[in-house]
Amino acid sequence: MVGTSMLEAVPFDDRITCIKTASSVGDQVIMWVYAYHVEDALFDAGCANAIGELREYATKHPIRRVFVTHFHEDHYGGCAAFLPNAEIFARPMTLESIHKPYLLPQFFEWVWGTPDPVIEACELTTSTIQVKDFTFEVLDFSGHCAEMIGFWEPEQKWLFSADAVPLPSEKKMAMPEENIPKLITRMEEIQDLNPHILFDGHRGPIPQPRKHIDKRIKFLTELQIQVQELANKGKTISEIKSILGFPEPWYLPNTEERFAIEHLIRSLLEDED
């Protein structure tokens, strides 16, 4: 499979620009991933397949700092495009992947691309960051993966949430590193913040996101009860998967078990928030 890299820069308002990167087959975009350009800072860096387009964007826009939310390749893959003019910041686990990107299954190599290593990247050690007139709090959003962070601007009530809120309203598969009970807790914490705008890592800006998030909390909470009841009756993870009858998307076998319904069930049974 050979895809075409894409980048779209879409202004949200006069302060924030959505940087959308993806690969496509023909006219079909596989999945957009969003980075957000605020003043001279960038939150996340897009995917490596769009590195050429990101470099071109960087020549025309004054990006001095890049803040990476977590260690998945679609969020840190474009970091190299912003050197040498920008500093790259991330928490330690993410920093390890930025310094030495992990080997991807072929499917993800096609969808996102393998990032170039960025040994210049530094640890983000502060609990707040200043971007011109905006003060962002760095929040713990672990759940989708360990050590994921988000950025909250309380005056504007902006929340840059990365992948803290699942893309589908009914999440029916997971990655092995996902802790689903913790993911539910993080979404409840987001609801307590009551953001005016959720700047999502894949859907883009979501105004007044309470209803959007509630759907996801409700589905996963009810699913957890159902899965635990089946486990209490002695059902195995394989048997629970069969009873649930979740349809498997066409690409699932190509992920080499990086995505699986079994990961979702296991986490609901074994992980704690």
83-105: per-residue pLDDT in tens? 999 999 999 999 999 999 999 99
Q: Tell me the two tokens of residue 36.
A: 């957000």
What confidence tier does 26 reach under pLDDT thresholds 50, 70, 90? confident
Residue 140 · residue 189 · CB < 8 Å: no
**Confidence (pLDDT) at 67:** 98
Fold observed for domain 4-216: Metallo-beta-lactamase; Chain A (3.60.15)
User: Locate tokens 């105004």: which residue?
Assistant: 207
What band does 252 get if pLDDT is binned at 50, 70 and 90?
very high
pLDDT at site 28: 83
User: What average pLDDT does this structure show over 57-74?
Assistant: 97
Chain-centre distance for alpha carbon 114: 16
Q: Does the pLDDT value for residue 255 go beyond 90?
A: yes
For 65-78, what is the mean pLDDT? 98
Taking the alpha carbons at both ends of the chain, their separation in whole angstroms is 39
Lookup: tokens for 43 = 């939150």
pLDDT band at residue 145 under the 50/70/90 scheme? very high
Instruction: Write the burial class of residue 251 (CB in 10 Å: 0-12 exposed, 13-18 middle, 19+ buried).
Output: exposed
- CA-nearest of 183, 164, 53 to 77 is 53
- The mean per-residue pLDDT over the stretch 157-178 comes to 98
Q: How far apart are CA 83 and CA 159, in angstroms?
A: 26
Q: Count H helices and E strands in the chain, helices first.
A: 8, 14
User: Residue 121 — very low, low, confident or very high, per pLDDT cuts 50/70/90?
Assistant: very high
Taking all residues of the chain, what is their mean pLDDT, rounded to a whole number?
A: 96
Rounded CA separation 100/255 (Å): 21
Q: Residue ranges per domain, the chain?
A: 4-216
What's the average model confidence in pLDDT over 111-133?
A: 97
Q: Are residues 254 and 107 in contact, defined by beta-carbon separation less than 8 angstroms?
A: yes
Q: Quote the percentage of the chain above a pLDDT of 90.
A: 95
Residue 2 has pLDDT above 60, yes or no: no
Mean pLDDT to the nearest integer, 217-222? 98
Q: Where is 16: in which H helix or E strand?
A: strand 16-25
According to the model, what pLDDT value does residue 4 have? 79
- What's this model's pTM, rounded to 2 decimal places? 0.96
Q: What's residue 30's pLDDT?
A: 87
Coil vs helix vs strand at 5:
strand
Residue with more model confidence, 26 or 59: 59
User: Considering only CA atoms, which of 109, 182, 118, 114 is closest in space to residue 145?
Assistant: 182
Among positive and negative, which fits the CA dihedral 252, 254, 255, 256? positive
Using the predicted structure, report yes or no on whether residue 3 has a pLDDT greater than 70. no
Q: What is the mean pLDDT of residues 219-225?
A: 98
Peptide bond into 84 cis (omega under 30): yes
- The per-residue pLDDT for 1 is 46
DSSP state of 254: G
So what's the pLDDT on residue 196? Answer: 98
- How far out from the chain centre does Cα 130 lie? 22
pLDDT at 123 over 80: yes
